[in-house]
Structures are given as C-alpha cells and as structure tokens.
Amino acid sequence: MYQWIFKRQIRQGFQNISHARFDEVLKLFSPDIHFTFAGHHAMGGDWHQRELAKRWFERVHRLFPDLIVTSRQIRVTGWPWDITAVTQFDVQATLPDRTPYANQGVQILRVRWGKIVDDYLIEDTQLLVSALERIASCGNAEAMAAPLS
C-alpha cells in the first residue's frame, strides 16, 4: 500500500516541478539533501543543501519555461522508513527558437522516514547540452553558465 502512495507522490512531484511549484517539492527534501544532476553543464552539479536544489529548479525553469516532466515507469522498494525509488521519466519543452526538446532520464531517490535524502538525476547529456547550446544561441547566457555552487 505505501508503495502505491509513494508512486503517487512521485507523479505529483513531477507535476509540481512542471508547474514551477518548487516549495511543494522542497518540503519533501531533507535539509541536507544530497542532490545530483549528472554532467558538467549549466544544469549539472552535486549539492548537499535544499537551498541549492531550489536554485537548481529555478534555473531549470528559466532555461525551459514550459517544461513538462512525466513519469513513465516507477519502481519502489524498501520499507516506509527506508525507501528506494527508481523512475524513468520523459522531459518535453520548447526551446526559444521554437524547436521542440524531448529527452528521457532516470531518477533514483532514497527516502528515510518520509524525507528525500538522496536525489540522483541523469538525462541524455548529449541531447541536453545540445539544447543548452541552442538556448544560449538565442540569447540566454545562463544556458552556458557553470554549475551552481
């Protein structure tokens, strides 16, 4: 039963991210969350603070304002006090030059006592970096910025 509830929370989390409701997502994060987005680019990084995760979400929406993230498959294991969830997800957006952006990724979450303590995200980096370059070529220099620190 708790696995079904947690899958529902993940789907709701992706909806919240898609609608820039970051506070709803961040409520679920431990204050010292280990948040990782694979790659060395404007969206990449490895942080240990909820505030940096918030700044990351804000950057994502500045770069991809109409971002839609949907879960394709979710697997949940463990006990309510120590859950691991793996989600395959799809990302869609429209770049400033009206080019559609579509990518796929995987998220690995670790949840202890109802708080997310680890969040590891990876997308097809080649597609993502190509999209960031297109965004930069349309005038958004943040797309080529260093990872947040």
From CA 17, how far away is CA 9, in angstroms rounded? 12
Q: What is the pLDDT of residue 26?
A: 96
- Please tell me the distance from the alpha carbon of residue 145 to that of residue 41, in angstroms, as a whole number: 7
pLDDT digits (tens, 9 = 90+) for 123-136: 999 999 999 999 99
Rg (CA), the chain: 15
What integer pLDDT is reported at residue 3 of this predicted model? 87
The pLDDT confidence band at residue 18, using thresholds 50, 70 and 90, is very high
| Mean of per-residue pLDDT scores for the chain | 96
Q: What share of the chain is helix, strand, coil (3-state, %, to 5)?
A: 35, 40, 25
pTM for the structure as a whole? 0.93
- In this prediction, residue 81 carries a pLDDT of 92
Count Cβ atoms within 10 A of the Cβ of residue 42 and give its class: 0-12 exposed, 13-18 middle, 19 or more buried: buried
CATH architecture of the domain with range 2-135? Roll (3.10)
SS3 per residue for 52-78: HHHHHHHHHHHHCCCCEEEEEEEEEEE
The mean per-residue pLDDT over the stretch 27-49 comes to 96
55: Cβ contacts below 8 Å, ≥ 6 apart: 148
